[in-house]
Every structure is written in C-alpha cells, then in structure tokens.
Structure 1
Amino acid sequence: MDQLDRRIIAALQHNARESTTKIAAKLGVARTTVHERIARMEESGVIAGYTVVLREPQDESRVQVCVMLEVQQKETNRIIKRLEAYPEVKLCLSINGEYDLLLSAEAPRIEDLDVLVDELAEIPGVIRTNTSVVFGRRIDRK
C-alpha cells in the first residue's frame, strides 16, 4: 500500500458509498486509477468488506471514559474474561508501559461509569487504575 491507497481508504472510511468519480476528483487522479486500486485492495483482502454504521439516537447521549489498568500479569486472562461481562466496556487493548490494559467504556450517565470504575478497581489482580473522561472525538474512523 502506498500513500494513494491510504488516501482512497480514508475516503471510503468517510463515505463508502461515494462514487469512484468523486473520490478521484478529490484526490486529483483518474477515475480508473481509483477503481483499479479499490478492486486490487478488495482482491488482496486489504479491504475486507463494507458495512453500515448506525447513528446513536439524538436523545441518547453517551459519556465515554478511557480507563488504564495495571494488572498482575498472571491474572490478565482472568481479568479480561471478567471485563467481557461489562456491557459498558466497548474496547480492551493490551498495551506496554506503566499500565497493561486500556479500556474504552460508555454509558448514558457519568455516575454509571463512576460505579464501573470502582468495580474495576475491586477485581482481584487489578493493582491500580487511571481514568480519563473523553470530551470529544477529533478523528473517528469506525
């Protein structure tokens, strides 16, 4: 993949239904170039498919937090299994550095997340947590 492929992917991630003609015009290349590159990336598996992303109802605002967990290494798998039981936890990443896991969690109210963070800290094997509230999304390619 080169820079043009990445720019095409970014355009598709923004709007997968946009025509190759419009993408080509935005990127300053020929329509056939965009069409051929998309076909090649689909064939090679770089582009695995397309999907529909549903918008959250306007009346259902959500609060999001990022929680970093330091855990006892031998307890990591058991802790992750426990985290799967919390519907508020949307993402769990294994990371390096001072903390071991990074969670993204969402709920309708900050009070719900306050309870969640307290419960996470009580899981056996969790040494400590560090939580940040998300104010806004600057780039979101979901």
Structure 2
Amino acid sequence: MKDALDRKIIAALQANARQSTAKIAAQVGVARTTVHERIARMEREGTIKGYTVVLGDSDALPMVQVIVMLAVTQQDTPKIIRRLEDYPEIKLCLSVNGEFDLMLSVEAPRIEDLDVLVDELGLIPGVNRTKTHVVFGRRIDRD
C-alpha cells in the first residue's frame, strides 16, 4: 500500500527518474537510505514496473497519432489490457463509459503502421469492435 511518502518519491521519479536518491531524499525530507529502501520495495511489489525515456519533440521524429476506441467483453478486460501493454505505440489507455469501454492514444511514424496495429487490436480475443479517429493537431496540451 502506497503512503504519502511513496507518492512523493514516485512523483520525484516521474519528474526525473535519473536523479540520485540523495536528491530525492532532500526533496521529500527523509534519509537517502529510506528513499533507496522505498524504491526497492516498490520495484519488488510491482508498484514501479520500470523506467522509460521521454523523447522531446523533434522534427526528425514526426509521429501520426490516432485515438482508438475499443468495445470489449467486460470479463476479458484485464487480459486485454495486459496484451495492450505489449504495444509501445500505445501511449495511453483509459477506461471510459458509453458505447466503448477503452480509449487508446496511439502514435507511430507512419499511418500504415497504425493501420496494421489497429487490425491487430481487433484480433485480440474479447475485443468486439474498434473505432479509430486520426488526430489532426493538439489544441491544448498540458503535459
């Protein structure tokens, strides 16, 4: 169970996972060994599954983005989400209400790559229907 200190440590890691435990400790007001032990525990328990690289915007890496809506069989949802984690192109997965159950934000260098990916998503057992929207641009982006 995460407490307030765990959440502060996670927030510090999300801001910069490469910063030292000493720097995180100074930010959250505890000893470096406490931060080290907390991070190790959260990694063991699966709260922290890994670390990643966030790429900056670059004209060298233009990306096409689509929103994919999935209608799924409810009892298959956990299994489907585990499968979705295998696709690095999926940047976000949200549970939503209404006619669809999951909303995915998906990015790839070419629309053809996304076409193949959406076809694969439709073949996952428990996925009943998909609907895809191409993103033309970002009007508000607070990330």
Q: TM-score, normalised by structure 1?
A: 0.63
The aligned counterpart of 1:13 is none
Q: Which amino acid aligns with 1:89?
A: I
Q: Which residue of 2 aligns with 1:105?
A: 106
TM alignment of 1:1-142, pairs within 5 A: 51=15, 54-142=55-143
Question: Residue 77 of structure 1: CA displacement?
Answer: 0.2
Q: Once the two structures are superposed, what CA deviation does each residue of 1:87-108 show, in whole Å capped at 9, x if it has no partner?
A: 1000000000000000000000
Name the aligned partner's letter for residue 15 of structure 2. T
Unaligned runs of 5+ in 1: 1-44
Distance 1:111 1:54 in 2: 22
Identical positions, percent: 66
CA RMSD of aligned residues (A): 1.7
Superposed displacement of residue 59, structure 1: 1.4
Distance in 1 between residues matched to 2:55 and 2:115, nearest whole Å: 27
Q: Shift of residue 58 of structure 1?
A: 1.4
Deviations 1:22-71 (A, max 9, x none): xxxxxxxxxxxxxxxxxxxxxxx8xx568377522211100000000000
Q: Which residue identity lines up with residue 89 of structure 2 in the other structure?
A: E
Bigger-Rg structure (1/2): 1
Alignment gaps of 5+ in structure 2: 1-7, 17-53
